[in-house]
C-alpha cells in the first residue's frame, strides 16, 4: 500500500522542491521583518487594562505590515474569526449609500449575514446599514473571463468597494493565483482607477511569495487559525493594507478614538509571532499533503480539484469520492489518526447555513482550525470531500497510508 505513496512521492519530487523554495523565500521575508522591526524579548509582555503603549502589539502590527508589503496592519486576538476581520475591513471602507460589488461570485457562506443577503437582514449588516450590494461574476470555471459585458463594466464603475475572494470556498471556480489577482486588479483599475479593492485572503497566505497587497489590493483580511497562525495561535484575525483604511477598520473593531491604540494582548504576542515564524513551513507541509492526497487519489481513479496538473492556489483539496460510504470511511480514518479526539466517529449533521447534512472530521489542537488536517463533506452528489491543511507532512502521510490499508468502504 505504501508503494502507491512512494510512487507518488517520486513523481512529486521536483514539485515538492519548488514548494520548499517558496517556503525559504517566505521564511526570509518573515525573519527580515522581525529584524527590521527590532523584535526583542521585551515585546512579549502584555500591558493590562486599556493596553495603551503595548510595544508587542505595535511591533506585531508592523511585522505583519512588512511581511504583507502593506502600509499598516492590525493583528488582534479580539477578532473572533476571519469573518469578523473581513466584516471590519469592509465596514471600514464603506459609508451608507455606497455600493459594494463582489466580483468573484458569491462570497463565503459566513459573509452572507455580514453583507445582509440572507432572508432575514440584520440591521447591523452592511445592507441593514444602508450600503448597497451587488454581485457579478468576472470569473468563469477556468479563470478571469477574457471579456466583461457592458453590464459588468457598469457595475464596476458604480462600485465604491470591490470585494475579491482569493480561495474558491465551496464554489466550483478555481482559487485565484497571485498572477490572476494582479490581472484582475489591473483590469478593474482601468475601468475604475479610484475604486477600493478588498481581498478575502483566507487560506491564501504564504502559498506564493507575494500577497494581494503587493499587487494592488487596498486591504486584505484573514484568520489567525488558518495559514498565518502557523497552527499555534489560539484565535484572532488580521487586516493589512492602506493605513487610512486599516485605521477605519480598527475603529469598527474597537471604537472611534481608540482604533488600533488599545486592546489587551493576553500574553500571546510571542505565540502570534512564533506562529508567523512557523507559517511558511506549515503552509508548505499543507500543500505537500494536499498534493500527495490528490496524486494518490488520481491514481486510484477519482476526480480531484485542483487536478494534479493545476497549480495549488490555497490549502484545500477536493476529492470526489462518489458515495456516502466512501466519504464516511474517509472521515472516520482521518479522525482516528487525528491528534485530539481520535476515538470519535464523525457522523453527518444538519449545520446552520448548509442545505444538506455535513460530515466533519478533524481532531485539531485548536478547535475549528483548518490549517490542521481536517475534512468536511456535504452529503450530496458527487460526494466530494473538502480536505484541507496539515501541520506536518508526516501526519498527513500516516493518515493516507491508513486509508489505503483499511480501504475506503
Ligand atoms: C475561512 C474563510 C473565511 C472566514 O471564515 P472564519 O471561519 O470566520 O474564519 C472567509 N472566507 C473564506 C474563503 C474562508 O476560507
Task: Report the pLDDT averaged over residues 308-313.
Answer: 96
pLDDT at 107 over 60: yes
CB-CB contact of 217 with 198 (8 Å): yes
Task: Return the CA Rg of the chain.
Answer: 21
476571519: which residue's cell?
82
What would the mean pLDDT of 266-280 be, rounded to a whole number? 98
Nearest CA to ligand 1 atom 9: 82
Q: How many Å lie between the centroid of ligand 1 and the Cα of residue 226?
A: 9
Q: Which three cell numbers stand for residue 262?
A: 488599545
Distance of alpha carbon 222 from alpha carbon 135, whole angstroms: 21
- Going by CA atoms, what residue is nearest to atom 14 of ligand 1? 202
Residue 203 Cβ < 6 Å to ligand 1 = yes
Residue 202 CA to ligand 1 centre (angstroms):
6
* 168 — pLDDT class (breaks 50, 70, 90): confident
Q: pLDDT tens digits, residue range 127-159?
A: 999 999 999 999 988 889 999 999 999 999 999
Mean pLDDT of 186-192: 98
Query: Does 201 sit in the ligand 1 pocket, CB within 6 Å?
Result: no
pLDDT, residue 2, reads 77
pLDDT beyond 90 at 309: yes
> Do 11 and 295 contact (CB within 8 A), yes or no?
yes
Average pLDDT, the chain: 96
Res. 5: pLDDT tops 60: yes
If one compares 314 and 110, the residue with the highest pLDDT of the two is: 314
Pairing of strands 99-102, 316-320: unpaired
* pLDDT above 70: residue 279: yes
Q: Does residue 74 surpass a pLDDT of 70?
A: yes
Q: Residue 357's pLDDT is what?
A: 93
Going by C-beta distance under 8 Å and a sequence separation of 6 or more, which residues neighbour residue 305? Answer: 172, 174, 317, 318, 320, 384
Position 353 scores a pLDDT of 65
- Pairing of the two strands 237-241 and 196-200: unpaired
Has residue 409 got a pLDDT over 60? no
pLDDT at 1: 63
pTM (two decimals): 0.96
Give residue 356's pLDDT: 87
Answer for the pair 198, 218: CB distance below 8 angstroms, yes or no: yes
Res. 352 pLDDT band, cuts 50 70 90: confident
Task: Please say if the pLDDT value at position 400 is more than 70.
Answer: yes
Span 52-66, average pLDDT? 98
- For ligand 1, is residue 223 a contact (CB within 6 Å)? yes
Amino acid at each position: 500500500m505504501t508503494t502507491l505513496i512512494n510512487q507518488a512521492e517520486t513523481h512529486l519530487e521536483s514539485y515538492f522542491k519548488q514548494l520548499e523554495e517558496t517556503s525559504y523565500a517566505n521564511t526570509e521575508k518573515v525573519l527580515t521583518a522581525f529584524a527590521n522591526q527590532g523584535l526583542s524579548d521585551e515585546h512579549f509582555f502584555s500591558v493590562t487594562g486599556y493596553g495603551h503603549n503595548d510595544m508587542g502589539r505595535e511591533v506585531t502590527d508592523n511585522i505583519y505590515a512588512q511581511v504583507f508589503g502593506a502600509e499598516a496592519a492590525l493583528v488582534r486576538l479580539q477578532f473572533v474569526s476571519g469573518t469578523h476581520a473581513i466584516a471590519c475591513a469592509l465596514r471600514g471602507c464603506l459609508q451608507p449609500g455606497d455600493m459594494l460589488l463582489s466580483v468573484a461570485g458569491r462570497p463565503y457562506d459566513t459573509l452572507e449575514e455580514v453583507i445582509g443577503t440572507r432572508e432575514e437582514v440584520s440591521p447591523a449588516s452592511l445592507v441593514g446599514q444602508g450600503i448597497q450590494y451587488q454581485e457579478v461574476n468576472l470569473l468563469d470555471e477556468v479563470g478571469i473571463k477574457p471579456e466583461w459585458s457592458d453590464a459588468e463594466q457598469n457595475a464596476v464603475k458604480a462600485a465604491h468597494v470591490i470585494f475579491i475572494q482569493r480561495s474558491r470556498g465551496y464554489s466550483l471556480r478555481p482559487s485565484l493565483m497571485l498572477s490572476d489577482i494582479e490581472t484582475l486588479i489591473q483590469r478593474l483599475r482601468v475601468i475604475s482607477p479610484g475604486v477600493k479593492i478588498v481581498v478575502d485572503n483566507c487560506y491564501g497566505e504564504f502559498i506564493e511569495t507575494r500577497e494581494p497587497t503587493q499587487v494592488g489590493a487596498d486591504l486584505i483580511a484573514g484568520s489567525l487559525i488558518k495559514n498565518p497562525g502557523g497552527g499555534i495561535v489560539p484565535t484572532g484575525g488580521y487586516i493589512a493594507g492602506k493605513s487610512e483604511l486599516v485605521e477605519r477598520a480598527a475603529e469598527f473593531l474597537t471604537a472611534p478614538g481608540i482604533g488600533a491604540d488599545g486592546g489587551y494582548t493576553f500574553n500571546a504576542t510571542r505565540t502570534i509571532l512564533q506562529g508567523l515564524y512557523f507559517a511558511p513551513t506549515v503552509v508548505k507541509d499543507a500543500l505537500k499533503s494536499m498534493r500527495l492526497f490528490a496524486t494518490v487519489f488520481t491514481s486510484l481513479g477519482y476526480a480531484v480539484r485542483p487536478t494534479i496538473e493545476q497549480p495549488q492556489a490555497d490549502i484545500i483539496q477536493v476529492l470526489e469520492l462518489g458515495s456516502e460510504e466512501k466519504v464516511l470511511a474517509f472521515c472516520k480514518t482521518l479522525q482516528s489518526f487525528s491528534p485530539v479526539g481520535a476515538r470519535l466517529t464523525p457522523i453527518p449533521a444538519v449545520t446552520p447555513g448548509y442545505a444538506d447534512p455535513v460530515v466533519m472530521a478533524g481532531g485539531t489542537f485548536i478547535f475549528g482550525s483548518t490549517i490542521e488536517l481536517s475534512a468536511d463533506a456535504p452529503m450530496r452528489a458527487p460526494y466530494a470531500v473538502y480536505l484541507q491543511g496539515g501541520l506536518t507532512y508526516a501526519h498527513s502521510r500516516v493518515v493516507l497510508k491508513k486509508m489505503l490499508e483499511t480501504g475506503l468502504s
